[in-house]
Structure 1
Amino acid sequence: MDCGFLLPDLYSKLLSDTNTRTGGHLAPPELDLKLQAGARCLSPNPFCSTARHKSDSNPNLYGSPMTVGSHGLTGQHILTVDMFSKDQLNDIFNLAQTLRISVQKERPLDHILKGKVMASVFYEVSTRTSCSFSAAMQRLGGRVIIMDEASSSVKKGETLEDSIAVMAGYADVVVLRHPEPGAVSRAANYCRKPLINAGDGIGEHPTQALLDVFTIREEIGTVNGLTITMVGDLKHGRTVHSLARLLTLYNVQIRYVSPQGLSMPSHIVQFVGSKGISQEKFDSLEEALPETDVLYMTRIQRERFSSQEEYESVCGLFVMTPQLMTWAKRRMVVMHPLPRVSEISPELDSDPRAAYFRQAECGMYVRMALLAMVLGKC
């Protein structure tokens, strides 16, 4: 559908037409993100051979082709950040901002996805991604069904493909996390409903990248012209892999600080460089911090190492403290996808530049926007 009327006036036209949606009963003003008459959601067919586009920067991932529409996300799989255009990001972020204001002002939003069901399928543990997707769906009036590896027929030997095919029959949208890179893309071939990648091993985490860029925009007011420094386990960190790629849509400079052996993978560096983005490597936080606008900290991921000794040899090398923050600009932000272990001192939490908990909250609003758009309700 044409959502063009939503954006210029910050969705002012959505605060009307309540009686139509409530069967004639009175209700307070609320966001109306319903499809216009005649519009329909396009869902991928199961086991079909329709065209898909391969991710330019991750050979394990394929994205669905864009449908015709104002944002082109209705009915689409969300597998890789490479599928997004700058205009689509603006649409997602503008809607997320509007939904954020509505939640903060306690305006009802539960009509938007009323009657819709989201399947939450997590083969890896999760707190923020799992809970924020569930909260997003429920705030919009939808419901959530949950499947995990520990309590499902996976224990009996059921394949990922079969599980996803079954869950697609129960739900309108499927959110999947899996420890194997490329597994989400493979599962998408068996999912006749929109499938959202919630993290695939050390591969991609597209919705995390979306919320990260949204957070930067909300905190600083712009993304263009910023210096963004990524710190920690850049080799295994799917969050920084997706974020670095998504940032190529903006005019930014990227800096990398990591322990030896945990640097950003060469294919990511090459992809970012091919887009004309300036990149630099630094050996210390003290060296990189003074010109940094966004400090993106990440943990050393214990689960990615084969031994405790190997993990401990690189753990604790880069720790952000209030003392180190004296090197930083007065106007900058510290972000972290969480969970943190020891890489950010809890004493830093009271610093107004510490944005990581606000960042986690932003994830809910971005996922609310994405679910509404993918399900054709905007």
Structure 2
Amino acid sequence: MKKINGNFYQKSIVSIDQFDAHDIEKVFDVADSYKKGLEKGTVFHDLEGKLLTALFYEPSSRTFGSFTAATQRLGGGIIPIQGVQFSSVVKGETLEDTIRVFASYSDAIALRHPEEGASKHAAEVSPVPIINAGDGVGEHPTQALLDLYTIKERLGRTEHLSIAMVGDLKYGRTVHSLSKLLSLYKNIVMYFVCPKTSQMPQDIVNLIKKRGVKIEIVSSIQPIIDKMDVLYMTRVQKERMDKKLYESIKDLFILNGRMAGRMKKKSIIMHPLPRIHEMTTDVDSNPRAVYFT
């Protein structure tokens, strides 16, 4: 997959591996500009006459909604395809054929798919850029960019950070992309709080270690919570494991309001959502909680 190397034009966004720190700063600068414009009531026309196909093979509300909102706020149109049970996929149409068809209608495709590597494969056959909106247990690069943007906005830095990633780190694609993204920066310490059955994939561990990230694997949030700059909670991916395993781990790591109150005053609590069992609602009123803002 092509590296960004400072030039995003007509390039697919499939993996965080395409980015370096300079590319990320470019994204953040553009995001800052649009955010300030929206706060002033600016009406944008940057995507006027352009169409995005949001092709979602898996359930989604936030990611689907955010792509729709972003496209429309910039003046573009959207072709919303959500719920493949109502599409030609049920008739046996291949991903390749579906991509080719919707590429002929639109200028880019945001793809969510249950198979790891689906976005990369789609990008190989598509004449228009593919944006990976989540591919199975693989990656979620746009979520990672949003997460890092939030960290920088709230804490004022992307270096010298202690971050705990909690929950299902094996199947949770958001933590895969965010770990790789954070590893581009200096003095990062990551605490992986997870059951033995749901640890971070070894290839990601090897990569971020090679880049200088210090990693600690721990079995509880309690001993480390007061040291964290970022506490990143995740749900257990029920749909990607058998029922017995899910039931055995779903309640292992639960954050409540009392625990959240022990965190440093200048720290943040994040969650890619949806929230299930892993975080009680009394955390929501904590000023460190940023997942709804």
TM-score range for the pair, normalised by the shorter chain length: over 0.9
Instruction: Give 1:303-314 correspondences, 5 Å limit.
Output: 303-307=239-243, 309-314=244-249
Answering whether residue 25 of structure 2 is matched by residue 90 of structure 1, we say yes
More contact order relative to length (CA 8 Å, sep ≥ 6)? 1
The structure 1 residue matched to 2:235, chosen from 299, 317, 323, is: 299
2:219 to 255, 279, 283: 283
The aligned residue for residue 43 of structure 2 is: 108
**Counterpart amino acid of residue 256 in structure 1:** F
Q: Equivalent residue for 1:124?
A: 58
Query: Following TM superposition, by how much is the alpha carbon of 1:344 offset from its aligned partner in structure 2, in angstroms?
Result: 1.2
Q: CA deviation at 1:342?
A: 1.7
Q: Which residue matches 2:282?
A: 347
Matched, 1:64 2:8: no
Alignment of 1:79 onto 2:10: no
Q: SS of the residue aligned with 2:253?
A: coil
Q: Is the 8 A contact 1:228 1:294 kept in 2?
A: yes
Kindly state the Cα deviation for residue 287 of structure 1 after the two structures are TM-superposed: 1.1
Percent pairwise identity? 44
| Residue 144 (structure 1) aligns with | 78
Give 2:106's aligned residue.
171
State the match for 2:145 in structure 1. Answer: 210
For residues 113-169 of structure 1, the C-alpha deviation after alignment (integer angstroms, 9 at most, x for no partner) is 100000010010101111100100000000000224121111111100000011000
In structure 1, C-alpha distance between the alignment counterparts of 2:279 and 2:39, rounded to whole Å: 28
Partner of 1:77: helix, strand, or coil?
Answer: coil
Indicate the SS of the match to 2:97. helix
Normalised by the length of structure 1, the TM-score is 0.75
**Residue-by-residue CA offset, 1:317-349 (whole Å, 9 max, x unaligned):** 111111112321111000000000021111111
Q: Contact (CA 8 Å) 1:78, 1:195: kept in 2 or not?
A: yes
* In structure 2, distance between residues paired with 1:171 and 1:282: 46
Distance 1:237 1:173 in 2: 26
| 1:48-67 alpha-carbon deviations (Å, 9 max, x no partner) | xxxxxxxxxxxxxxx22447
CA contact (8 A) 1:248 1:275 kept: yes
* Amino acid aligned to 2:8: L
Supply the AA of the counterpart residue of 1:344: M
Task: Please provide the CA RMSD for this pair.
Answer: 1.1
Query: Residue deviations 1:84-125, cap 9 Å, x none?
Result: 11111111001101211211221111x111000000100101
| Matching residue of 1:159 | 94
1:229 is aligned with what amino acid?
A: A
User: Tell me, what secondary structure is at the counterpart of 1:281?
Assistant: strand
1:221 to 156, 170, 182: 156
Q: Is the 8 A contact 1:121 1:176 kept in 2?
A: yes
Matched, 1:325 2:260: yes
Letter in 1 for 2:189: Q
Which of 109, 126, 146 aligns to 1:191? It is 126
CA contact (8 A) 2:52 2:78 kept: yes
**Cα distance, 1:266–1:279 mapped onto 2, change above 3 Å:** same
Change (3 A) 1:65 1:230: closer
Q: How far 1:311 sits from its partner (Å)?
A: 0.8
Consecutive unaligned residues in structure 2, runs of 5 or more: none
Partner AA of 1:342 in structure 2: H
Q: 1:65 to 1:301 in 2, by over 3 A?
A: closer
Are the counterparts in 2 of residues 286 and 327 from structure 1 also a CA contact under 8 Å?
Answer: no
Write the distance in 2 (CA, Å) between the matches of 1:118 and 1:197.
Answer: 13
Q: Secondary structure at the match of 1:138?
A: helix
Runs of 4+ in 1 over 3 A off after TM superposition: none
Query: Per-residue CA shift, 1:213-262, capped at 9, x if unaligned?
Result: 00000111111101011000001010000100011111211111012311
Tell me the distance in 2 between the aligned counterparts of 1:337 and 1:223. 18
Q: Output the TM-score relative to the length of structure 2.
A: 0.97
1:274 to partner: Cα distance: 0.8
Residues 45-60 of structure 1 aligned to structure 2 (within 5 Å):
none
Partner residue, 1:51: none
